[in-house]
Amino acid sequence: MMLIFIIIFAIVIYVIYFNDDKESQDEQELLRCYNCGHIIKESYNYCPNCKEQLKKQCESCGKMIGVNWRYCPYCNHPNLDEGLEK
């Protein structure tokens, strides 16, 4: 009888731990528009709230990269926007 209680207790502990682990995995890092803070998806090229451009084409390899990224992650080409060219 005691053994059954221990097994049930172990299952309860496992379920609690598993649920916690699942919740932490479900927590997606929310991307936000750097201009207005509106929640955006990674596939968005423009913010649906303020129309701010979120992505631009890399001058070197042509892939879409974030406008505020310092370097292109595909070809390591420096991503110089108007603000950094001063």
φ, ψ at 10 (rounded to 5°): -65, -40
Minimum CB distance to Zn ion smaller for 23 or for 42: 42
Minimum CB distance to Zn ion smaller for 6 or for 83: 83
Least distance CB 81 / Zn ion (angstroms): 14
Least distance CB 54 / Zn ion (angstroms): 8
- Separation of alpha carbons 81 and 52, rounded Å: 14
- Separation of alpha carbons 20 and 11, rounded Å: 14
Minimum CB distance to Zn ion smaller for 13 or for 75: 75
List CB contacts of 31: < 8 A, sequence separation 6 or more: 39, 40, 41, 42
Look up tokens 């595909």; give the residue.
Answer: 74
Least distance CB 22 / Zn ion (angstroms): 31
* Chain contacts with Zn ion (rule: CB under 5 A): 33, 35-36, 38, 47, 49-50, 52, 58, 60-61, 72, 74-75, 77
